[in-house]
Structure 1
Amino acid sequence: MDFHAALETDFARLVEVSAGNLDRPVPSCPGWTVDDLDRHVAAVYLHKIACIRDKTEPADWPPAELAQEETQSQLRRAYRELTDELAARADDEPAGNWYAPDPTVGFWRRRMAQETVIHRIDAELAAGVPSVDVPADLALDGIDEVLRIFLEYSAATWHDEFVEDLRVGGGRSVALAAGGRRWLVAIGPDMLTVAEGDGPAAAEVTGSPDALLRWLWRRSDDATVTITGDSIAVAALRDLLRTATQ
């Protein structure tokens, strides 16, 4: 899919919704205002530029001088520099990354599109304006990303942070279905795996691609999806996602 087009669309919406609402609290990011949200997005963009240029993650972040720059100017500057950097690079070029299986520019191209769509939803929630639906292709890609990279990889790599909730899962599986795709998350007792297919599950969460993506990122509640089966397994998944995406 065209991650650059998605990034461009959602960045423009983020800027549009932020205008005039910088002091509003962001309900999906407790303790943040929209100004804090925009400053975070700018810092993330600039961090990824450093990862791509230096081919390693910066040792000290963020630089002190970032705090001195006006938020909206910094956000726009960071976006311009990020998109220029991505446009000049091939997907298979190396880049610094916490995700060891894919230390490439392509990983960050995808990640920045997904990062931006979630944070423009945050801005919409803060501003109290109708939220634009996430296109199905971007939402399905985002579902796959959060389950396989944030959840499965993180639970294996930083296992100690997930142990308690894995035990609650007790080896049960939760299926997640949207847009003709179905993921199966097997939870605990000692590990977590994600597969795509028609296997049996103790519980199932279904919805539109947009609704399921928001639910997985905890930008919406259970009323926005359909949940059937074992509520304990679903609660364990929800807690694991909180740890994986914080």
Structure 2
Amino acid sequence: MDSARLLGVLADEVRRLRVLSGGDLTAPVPTCPGWTVGDLVEHVARGFRTVVGQESDQRAPTPAAALDEAYGALEAAFAEQPDHFWIRRMAQEAAIHRFDAELALGVPLTPFPEDFAVDAIGEMLDVFLSRETHTWTEDYAADLTEWGTHWLRVADWRVDVHPTGVEVAPIDSLDADASVLGRPGAVLLWLYDRGEDVVVSGDVERVAQVRRLLTTAMNVT
């Protein structure tokens, strides 16, 4: 997915999150234990500021104000120098946490655009499985076993686990030992441990092993 399309998704998701920030900021977020909606909005704002290098000790008067200020800085930075990696990552960050806020507030859940969800699945597998496990292999050692020729299918991606890290590539056959399939949005939520509206088949222990690797990645990054 190109940067222009991702910037559009990012803008849409921030607008939705901004509206949600006008709701009950004290509502607990079930998918982020210990957080309230206010905490979640401020977390997204901090992420935006971190990307543009504008960390600040000054606290905005409200989470909504913090989000407005941080997104303004992010938007300006991307207008001056588009960075596809960070545009993609921040679009996904905003989308997932918008989902979290909707869930917490009990409002209708907005589906992810399908093209965005398809792209985000690949991004998630690449960033949180392949890159993380190859860069900080020792953090994942307990679940980096040798699968040999065995593999897991996640949507249209092939996942192979080895002691040196996880390999991710587009599927090249249909003989997977296990699979996680479903609508792109459902698979994306499964990857983030936010939904089980997928079909899991085959060797469930391999699926559980990849789930543990993903959980570790999200806890250490």
| TM-score calculated relative to the size of structure 1 | 0.82
Runs of at least 4 residues off by over 3 Å: 169-172
Counterpart pick for 1:14 among 12, 17, 40: 17
Q: 1:2-22: per-residue Cα shift (whole Å, max 9, x none)?
A: 111101111111122232221
CA distance in 2, matches of 1:189, 1:230: 19
Deviations 1:92-139 (A, max 9, x none): xxxxxxxxxxxxx22111111111111101111111112111011110
Q: 1:95-244 counterparts in 2 under 5 A?
A: 105-167=83-145, 170-171=147-148, 172-177=150-155, 182-199=156-173, 200-221=175-196, 224-244=197-217
Moved more, 31-40 or 190-199: 190-199
Q: Decide whether the 8 Å contact of 2:181 with 2:187 is kept in 1.
A: yes
Aligned residue pairs: how many? 214
The amino acid of 1:185's aligned partner reads: V
Query: Could you tell me how far 1:245 is from its partner in structure 2?
Result: 2.0
Q: Which amino acid aligns with 1:238?
A: R
1:204 CA displacement: 0.6
> RMSD value over aligned CA atoms?
1.7
Confirm or deny: 8 A CA contact 2:134 2:164 kept in the other structure.
no
Structure 2 equivalent of residue 75 of structure 1: 67
Q: Identity of paired residues, percent?
A: 40
Is the contact made by 1:45 and 1:82 (CA closer than 8 Å) also made in structure 2?
Answer: yes
Give the AA of the match of 2:153. Answer: A
Separation in structure 2 between the aligned mates of residue 17 and residue 65 of structure 1, nearest angstrom: 23
Post-superposition shift, 1:44? 0.6
Could you report, residue by residue, the CA deviation over 1:32-90 in whole angstroms, capped at 9, with x for unpaired residues? 00000011011111111118xxxxxxxxxx54334x6432211111111211221122x
Q: Which ranges in structure 2 are unaligned for 5 or more consecutive residues?
A: none
> Hey, what does 1:32 align to over in structure 2?
35
Measured in 2, the distance between the counterparts of 1:165 and 1:128 equals 36
Structure 2 counterpart of 1:6, one-letter code: V
Q: SS of the residue aligned with 1:65?
A: coil
Is residue 42 of structure 1 aligned with residue 39 of structure 2?
no
Q: Which runs of 5+ in 1 are unaligned?
A: 52-61, 92-104
TM-score, L = length of structure 2 = 0.91
**CA separation in 1, counterparts of 2:151 and 2:11?**
36
